[in-house]
Structure 1
Amino acid sequence: MYNILTMNKIAACGTDKFDKAAYTITDECAEPTAIMVRSAKLHDYEMPASLLAIARAGAGVNNIPVDKCAEQGIVVFNTPGANANAVKELVICALLLSSRRITEAAAWANSLKGTEDAPKTVEGGKAKFAGPEIFGKTLGVIGLGAIGGKVANAAVALGMNVIGFDPFLSEAAAKALDSSVKVVDSKDEIYKNSDYITLHVPFTPDAKNSISKEQIAMMKDGVRIINAARGELVDTAAVVEAIKAGKVAKYVTDFADDIGLGEENVITLPHLGASTPESEDNCAIMAADELMDYIERGKIRNSVTFPNLELAKTADQLVCVLHKAEVTEDAVKAAVGADVVASASATKKAWGYTLLDVKGSANVDAVKAVAGVVGVRVI
């Protein structure tokens, strides 16, 4: 029996995918086979020896100690693209919020309740909430992956000129872009030429404060900035200072920051990007599929550390070996001590994964003893 520990409430359409004859779904377990998590922080969680994998029902994994997990042979999955449409829709909303002073206008209109002749007052005061249309303006999209690509295409459909930057743009993502989207060679081109800028990149230490004083100085006067990716990507203090100086017209963020809260022309949303029932369902289903594939078949898909890889089991055992990238497939084969019918191996940055379909019984202890191997199991 495999134990799946849920660290947050996970949509039932995801947990229901597990065969109850083989899996136990629980929110309390000392020896989980795998963990499903949304926002719970795992940095102080003591990873038990039984743990094979963690599936994050969402894209960001900053709440999971991914490096520590890799060293312990624990595969961390995320669910890229499962919440992409939900975030795209919020970003399109943010474009309009940043232009039309909608939130301020609504608050003012509601403040007139109980006053004499509110309709007349509204007509007389609406001019102070005027704002520009997005049609014909230039949107700069930093990051053209699952979310950024959808945002770019939607903005084109709304009549915007769209430029995008992504040094890691995949062939599939490039093909999915509308032909009108102009992919540029540097973020500086985004900063210098955009009326609106939206961020769609993961947070890494190198990406901290990707938009700060230096980048803002390059931007057009009156630029509008949207951040529905990660709060740490933007130096909020620098943006607030630029708003007060008249350089930045509006900042819409999905991440609460005490520096920006309550500031004029800063709209802070309470992390609503993936907060739709459809998104939560999609993430839960994808996370469940990833865990079942890995636990039952050794297949890795959408791991943030280890490479995508699969190999059908046709013989007696499928040997699954997690290791550092420098470990060769030949080194694993030499240690397995069984007849290898088929094999597959791949690497992803610092980490590698090797699958061996073997006749007979594998010498698991010998494979574990290979320098750089961090996890071995037999299916």
Structure 2
Amino acid sequence: MYAVKTFNAIAQVGLDTFTDDFTINQTDEPDAYLIRSVNLLKADFPESLKTIVRAGAGVNNVPLGRATEQGIAVFNTPGSNANAVKELVISLMIATARNLFAAHDYSDEHTEADVSQRTEKDKTKFNGTELAGKRIAVIGLGNVGSLVANAALALGMKVIGYDPYLSANAAWRINNRVKRVDSIKKAVKGADFVTVHVPKNNETIGLLATKEISEMKDGVVLFNYSRIGIVDNQSVVKAMRSQKISHYCTDFGEPIIADQPNITITPHIGGSTIEAESNGAVQGANTVMDYLENGDTTNCVNLPNMQVPFETTYRVTVIHQNVPNMVGQISTQIATRGINIENMSNAAKEKVAYTIIDVDGLQEDNQSALIATLESIKEVYRVRVIKHK
């Protein structure tokens, strides 16, 4: 039996996904946390905690380094809210192209008796443009960016994509009419719209700033529905004063862009749809179960992604530092106890490695001793023994 503790409002359809082998919110010492936006950066984790799963894309609310050192696998649910973000970006693209925000403000201010005659006279002030034939640069072609690119193509737009880290799986999702280039400069050159969809990390903070914005055409419309800081807001405000940017839409407010004309700020609602929350909850629940019951690390953000068929009675998983001779030490300790290794898989992610060992000959009363022996290796963070269902 495994215990799960939830934070925030997790959609009931996700909680209903758990099998009878899992209890929900019945202890403060659970095996898993299933979370959304709760800030865990300063939280103390119980020793029982083996995994934290974020029902959403970002994990900037989780202390990844500390979690890794405590042997806690951290996951997200990429793609679960991708369609929601795509639809919001497309709707805002249409709204800015057709000047809907200014048109609404005008209509709200003019409700007098002669409104029909007056609006017929004034409506040309709000003449917009159509998206068909316009050029859009999509920076980042992952779960969200690929959907935006394909949707823009369906609207008759010319789509230029840039993503130096594009995975093979993501590449299959992208329409072959999306023109891919090898630099941001080439992507934004001549674009009427620029939208960014990349994860936030040390390489992407300030990804679009003064230099990159200077390469854009005058009057460009810019979108940031990734994370705050990926687009430098100070550079945006400066560019709007010179009319380099005609409109900026973002999901992340900041004082410098507050109360600015032609800046539309939505309150972090990109992924906030009923469907997206349900998708994330279901995917999150399945992730918790796959990790606790099988040791699978698909979509893990602090361990290498591994999915190995579980065909023996017991599986030993080891989270450890990525240093020489770890596999040798682990296998030696198992062999000296007369336990036969049927299959062993190992992979690394930067400074962390993960080893999965399927074994025969392991007795239940010897499990604790084996775990203690392996965890006595100073480079080992956590050892688990999983029994095949």
Same fold, judged at TM 0.5 (above) = yes
Q: Aligned letter for 2:68?
A: A
Q: Aligned letter for 2:33?
A: I
The CA deviation at 1:149 is 0.5
Residue aligning to 2:73: 75
Alignment partner of 2:79: what SS? coil
The separation in 2 between residues aligned to 1:98 and 1:241, in whole angstroms, is 20
**The one of 169, 172, 175 aligned to 1:172:** 169
The separation in 2 between residues aligned to 1:251 and 1:67, in whole angstroms, is 34
The separation in 2 between residues aligned to 1:313 and 1:165, in whole angstroms, is 38
**The one of 201, 206, 221 aligned to 1:204:** 201
| Superposition map of 1:274-285 within 5 A | 274-285=271-282
**The one of 49, 58, 63 aligned to 2:56:** 58
**The one of 244, 259, 266 aligned to 2:263:** 266
Q: Aligned letter for 1:377?
A: R
Residue aligning to 1:344: 345
The CA deviation at 1:193 is 3.2
Q: Aligned letter for 1:152?
A: A
Kept in 2, the 8 Å contact 1:98–1:251? The answer is no
**The one of 376, 379, 384 aligned to 1:369:** 376
5+ residue gaps, structure 1, are none
The separation in 2 between residues aligned to 1:375 and 1:251, in whole angstroms, is 46
Give the root-mean-square deviation of aligned CA atoms: 1.5
**The one of 41, 44, 47 aligned to 1:43:** 41
| Superposition map of 1:53-132 within 5 A | 53-113=51-111, 115-132=112-129
The separation in 1 between residues aligned to 2:171 and 2:113, in whole angstroms, is 57
The CA deviation at 1:263 is 0.7
The separation in 2 between residues aligned to 1:96 and 1:290, in whole angstroms, is 36
Alignment partner of 2:222: what SS? strand
| Superposition map of 1:276-295 within 5 A | 276-295=273-292
The CA deviation at 1:189 is 1.0
5+ residue gaps, structure 2, are none
Q: Aligned letter for 2:361?
A: G
Q: Which moved more, 1:313-322 or 1:159-168?
A: 313-322
Q: Aligned letter for 1:98?
A: T
**The one of 242, 245, 248 aligned to 2:242:** 245
The separation in 1 between residues aligned to 2:226 and 2:321, in whole angstroms, is 30
Kept in 2, the 8 Å contact 1:199–1:228? The answer is yes
The separation in 2 between residues aligned to 1:315 and 1:303, in whole angstroms, is 24
Alignment partner of 1:318: what SS? strand
Pair 1:319 & 2:316 matched: yes
Percent of aligned pairs sharing the same letter: 40
The separation in 1 between residues aligned to 2:313 and 2:269, in whole angstroms, is 48
Q: Aligned letter for 1:353?
A: Y
Residue aligning to 1:7: 7
Residue aligning to 1:357: 358
Q: Aligned letter for 1:275?
A: S
- Deviation per CA, 1:349-376: give whole Å up to 9, x if none: 2222111111223522221123421110
Q: Which moved more, 1:64-73 or 1:123-132?
A: 123-132
Q: Which moved more, 1:338-347 or 1:305-314?
A: 305-314
Q: Aligned letter for 1:80?
A: P
Kept in 2, the 8 Å contact 1:4–1:23? The answer is yes
Q: Which moved more, 1:357-366 or 1:135-144?
A: 357-366
Pair 1:378 & 2:377 matched: no
Kept in 1, the 8 Å contact 2:184–2:212? The answer is no
Kept in 2, the 8 Å contact 1:4–1:32? The answer is yes
Residue aligning to 1:146: 143
The CA deviation at 1:246 is 1.2
- State TM-score, norm by structure 2: 0.93
The CA deviation at 1:142 is 0.6
The CA deviation at 1:62 is 0.7
The CA deviation at 1:110 is 2.2
Kept in 1, the 8 Å contact 2:5–2:28? The answer is no
Residue aligning to 1:335: 333
Alignment partner of 2:189: what SS? helix
The separation in 2 between residues aligned to 1:60 and 1:159, in whole angstroms, is 31
The CA deviation at 1:216 is 1.3
Residue aligning to 1:230: 227
Q: Which moved more, 1:265-274 or 1:118-127?
A: 118-127
The CA deviation at 1:243 is 0.9
Q: Which moved more, 1:138-147 or 1:192-201?
A: 192-201
Kept in 2, the 8 Å contact 1:311–1:343? The answer is no
Q: Aligned letter for 1:359?
A: D
Q: Which moved more, 1:103-112 or 1:154-163?
A: 103-112
Residue aligning to 1:24: 23
- Deviation per CA, 1:306-357: give whole Å up to 9, x if none: 1222334433421011112225433321122321111212222222211111
Kept in 2, the 8 Å contact 1:310–1:355? The answer is no
Kept in 2, the 8 Å contact 1:345–1:353? The answer is yes
The separation in 2 between residues aligned to 1:300 and 1:207, in whole angstroms, is 25
The separation in 1 between residues aligned to 2:343 and 2:361, in whole angstroms, is 13
The separation in 2 between residues aligned to 1:108 and 1:35, in whole angstroms, is 48
